[in-house]
Amino acid sequence: MLDVTETTPIAQDEAETLSEHVFRRIQAAIVRGEIAPGSKISEPELARTYGISRGPLREAIHRLEGQKLLVRVPHVGARVVSLSHEELIELYEIRESLEGMACRLAAERMSREEIDELRRLLDLHERDEAFQAGVGYYQQEGDFDFHYRIIQGSGNRTLSQMLCGELYQLVRMYRLQFSAVPNRPRQAFAEHHRILDAIADRDGELAELLMRRHIGASKRNIERHYLDAQAKTANERGES
């Protein structure tokens, strides 16, 4: 009896660790586009790929559904999210409004030390190899993410839960997808600096305006992408 009592918690801890590990790996693969949007999730295949039993795997899948990265389709199962053009624009409209508010609050509430740390973060972003080559923006998440730090700096827990919790990885998935648009990395970096200057000056109104414009510029890039894709499809159909 003693052996059973002592080993059960260890087995549970191992299962939780496995679930966390697989959750992070699948999450990263979806966000980076290594598992394509719309792909059907096969539990047996994932169990074989990651060497994990179905129990911890299902827990990881459930968490990914909570992050909006997987959607449950009736009679089909779980699929990787694939937002339509309209749904993606709606997501960016939400970002534009809520992150603008977060920026205004951050200008009022961030400490001088937090602002200085944010400036050092932008210095780190500027030294990134992909950024220097002009092929993308710094892609680390959490505390290494300029937007994440500002949202946390707002001091509004509900806002943080929405933008740094349930929507964060979904937003990040599309931010990464469109970060390599020509000239956008440099433009985004310059916009980040202007936003930070407004926060440092405690100008909440300007900080909010600049953040809204910043996300609005990303939204327009997405709209141009879809228009270009539609025009290309139309041309190909015309040629055929």
Q: Tens digits of per-residue pLDDT, 54-107?
A: 888 899 999 999 999 999 988 888 999 999 999 999 999 999 999 999 999 999
Which distant-in-sequence residues (6+ apart) come within 8 Å of 204 by Cβ?
103, 104, 105, 107, 108
Question: Where is the domain boundary, 34, 51, 80?
Answer: 80
More confident residue, 115 or 185: 115
CB 222 within 8 A of CB 192: no
Query: Mean pLDDT: which of 121-130, 172-181, 224-233 is highest?
Result: 121-130
Question: Where is the domain boundary, 54, 80, 106?
Answer: 80
Residue 139 belongs to some domain of the structure: yes
Residue 180 belongs to some domain of the structure: yes
Task: Please compute the mean of the pLDDT values over residues 43-54 and round it to a whole number.
Answer: 87
CB atoms within 10 A of CB 231: 10
Residues 146 and 208 placed together within one structural domain of the fold? yes
Residues 91 and 195 placed together within one structural domain of the fold? yes
Can you tell me the distance from the alpha carbon of 63 to that of 19, in angstroms, rounded to the nearest whole number? 10
pTM: 0.82
Residues 172 and 210 placed together within one structural domain of the fold? yes
Q: How many domains does the chain have?
A: 2
Helix (H) or strand (E) segment spanning residue 70: strand 70-73
CATH of the domain at 107: 1.20.120.530
Query: By residue range, what is the domain housing residue 40?
Result: 18-80
* pLDDT value of position 3: 32
What dihedral angle (degrees, nearest 10) is formed by the CA atoms of 192, 194, 195, 199? Answer: 130
Residue tagged 């290594």 (tokens):
34
52: Cα separation from own chain's centroid:
26
Can you tell me the distance from the alpha carbon of 75 to that of 81, in angstroms, rounded to the nearest whole number? 16
pLDDT digits (tens, 9 = 90+) for 11-21: 445 555 778 88
pLDDT digits (tens, 9 = 90+) for 94-149: 999 999 999 999 999 999 999 999 999 999 999 988 888 777 787 789 999 999 99
* pLDDT value of position 11: 46
Residue 108 belongs to some domain of the structure: yes
Residues 59 and 103 placed together within one structural domain of the fold? no
* DSSP helix/strand/coil, 40: strand
